[in-house]
Amino acid sequence: MAKKILTVLSNFGYWGVELTGPMVKLEQAGHELVFVTPKGERPNALPPSYDTTYIDPPLGYCVTTTGDAEQVLGFKDSPRLDNPINLGKWFPERPYYSAPDFLRDFEKYHEKLSHLQSDLDEYDGLMLVGGSGPIIDMVNNQRLHDLILGFHKSGKPIAAICYAVACLIFARDFNERKSIIRGRNITGHCIEYDYHDGTGFSGTDLNMGPPPYCLEYMLTDAVGPEGAYHGNFGKKTSVVVDYPFITARSLQCSHEFGEQFVNVLDNGLKRYGW
């Protein structure tokens, strides 16, 4: 039976195969992707992600295969990406404490979130696509946190790859303040694969240098002593399923990430990779 997967992409650049790799696996299994971006603008693939001459500095070799580049080039200008759902108009902004009528506004905010829970009924899973762009407009996006919490509340699968895994760290109930990945097994970008320089974004000339945070350290802290971060340094891929979470370390994991997402949706997979 076909399932709908809500797929979140940055407006500042996604890594091509981190979308197309799992997308192909999901669509081959008969599932449908519905796209959403933080501002409702068309997402763009980061140019290095379809450049077969680009050398990844930490790894020292070209990470984009000819097949992956063709896949990304074949989809990056697709009209399917023209009109994504606008998350900023869909989910409400949490009011500041300094708002003139904070308590009433805060009650309205929670009431709105409660009503939006029914909107999520039509979706069977959530996928967060990586790349450098999420650092800017996804990782610390309160509306996206609320979207993630909505799927978590329903017990539906939540899949994230590369730097989009960081979104899970900050997805917390506002009163509990505890990460939803506390006590879980998670993978994500390990420090050995972090850039020292060259973190760039679509539509800007900004070179942030290294990423603004070490994802490995943040994930290790977020899962706590009851959970475990699995970097799997030295292994070509790292994909971990600890239901409802499906996490993948980086672009090399994209196809396996998609395969295991399908296994979760269709075969009831609960544990994988640890």
Query: 10 falls in which pLDDT band (50, 70, 90)?
Result: very high
Global model pTM greater than 0.75:
yes
HSE toward the beta carbon, residue 229, CA cutoff 13 A: 23
Burial class from Cβ neighbours inside 10 Å (0-12, 13-18, 19+) for residue 271 reads: exposed
CB 254 within 8 A of CB 17: yes
CB 185 within 8 A of CB 240: yes
- Tens digit of each residue's pLDDT (9 = 90 or more) over 60-96: 999 999 999 999 999 999 999 999 999 999 999 999 9
Query: 208 falls in which pLDDT band (50, 70, 90)?
Result: confident
Q: Residue 206 above 90 pLDDT? A: no
CA distance 70 to 51: 10
Q: Report residue 164 as tokens.
A: 């989009």
For the chain, domains (ranges, CATH) are 4-272 (3.40.50.880)
Backbone angles phi, psi at 110, to 5 degrees: -70, -35
Element (H, E) at 228: strand 228-229
